[in-house]
Amino acid sequence: MNDYLAGLTTEAVNPDTLMIDECTTEQMVQLMNQQDALVPAAIAKEIPQIARAVDILHQRLSNGGRMFYVGAGTSGRLGVLDASECPPTFGTDPSLVQGFIAGGDIALRNAVEGCEDDADEGIALIESIGVTNQDVVIGISASGSASYVIAALAKAKERGAATIGVCNNKGSKFEPIVDVCISPVVGAEVISGSTRLKAGTAQKLVLNMLTTCTMVKLGKTYNNLMVDLKASNVKLIDRSIRIIMSTTDVDASTAAATLERASMNCKLAIMMLKTGLDAKEAEQALYVNSGRLKQAIASLA
């Protein structure tokens, strides 16, 4: 028996759900809801570490770096999910935030057993994607013990990248090798060892914070509006129009027409309406201000 794994909080048996197989359906749902309610408090204890991680990400990405998630199983899928949401939400280049899972893309849909134990593949990943000392690599593993992830983090650190660990146990194998370790301890799972449950929920919330707060600091929002969204479908075009209306007090037809003149760039349309500049002039003002809309508007006041 592996003493490390046996001692993990995420492997413990939950005394509050021992008799779940004898519960009514409503009782089962209530038990899960009660356990899920513990997750935000666990994350609250990690806020200082999450803030440190965001500041590292902001500094590196502001200077040409990239952000890589590396995980296995549920953790890997959550990293890929969070990375894939950044381009439509914040208008980022797909290369800026990337997610990788042990076993490759096939593991997104199918369990590929054993790949999380392959340290050589973790090293090969870091080499193949060309991690440098400008980048940040974020390893995700509920146990903090997946060899694939640990090896990837160690190799990234060797190359000078900043390293961040996200796990659900204190005293994990992540701690000695990362610059920041974020460890929300959510306790034993409803079904013993099924870390797709509370642990997965905690990881999802942490990853939300890392990318969202970093993107806000990079100027990807105006107040709390996603002005850098890609207006690539009916819903997002409609959202862009509503954002333009709410920030500039114009009517829907004016908002839609300006969005067209701005080549469907919501942020640029707002800049044009707020300042009276044409598209080219507004684009230049945004460029000079590193894409920060509020700062660009203020610079012309």
Mean pLDDT across the chain, nearest whole number?
A: 95
Question: Is residue 118's pLDDT more than 90?
Answer: yes
pLDDT tens sequence across 77-91: 999 999 999 999 999
Quickly name the fold that domain 9-217 has.
Rossmann fold (3.40.50)
Q: How far apart are CA 140 and CA 168, in angstroms?
A: 9
- The CA dihedral of 104, 96, 129, 118, to the nearest 10 degrees, is -40
The yes-or-no answer on residue 116 being catalytic is yes
CA dist 159 and 211 (Å) reads: 23
- How far is it, in rounded angstroms, from Cα 133 to Cα 165? 17
Fold of 234-299: Helicase, Ruva Protein; domain 3 (1.10.8)
Q: Residue 109 in 3-state DSSP? A: coil
The answer to pTM > 0.85 is yes
**Smallest Cα–Cα separation from 18: which of 212, 189, 218, 269?**
189
Q: Point out the catalytic residue in the list 11, 46, 116, 121.
A: 116
pLDDT tens-place string over residues 33-44 = 999 999 999 999
Query: For residue range 159-193, what is the model confidence (pLDDT) as tens digits?
Result: 999 999 999 999 999 999 999 999 999 999 999 99
Helices (H), the chain: 3-6, 25-36, 39-44, 47-62, 73-90, 119-128, 147-158, 198-217, 234-248, 252-261, 266-275, 279-288, 293-299
Per-residue confidence (pLDDT) for residue 280, from 0 to 100: 96
Q: Is the pLDDT score of 1 beyond 70? A: no
What is the spatial distance between Cα 175 and Cα 69, in angstroms, rounded to a whole number?
17
Q: Specify the range with the lowest mean pLDDT, choosing from 5-9, 36-40, 54-58, 221-225.
A: 5-9
Judge whether 85 counts as a catalytic residue.
yes
Map out the domains of the chain as residue ranges. Answer: 9-217, 234-299
Per-residue pLDDT, 250: 97
- Tell me if residue 185 falls in helix, strand or coil: coil
Residue 92, class by beta-carbon neighbours within 10 Å (0-12 exposed, 13-18 middle, 19+ buried)?
Answer: buried
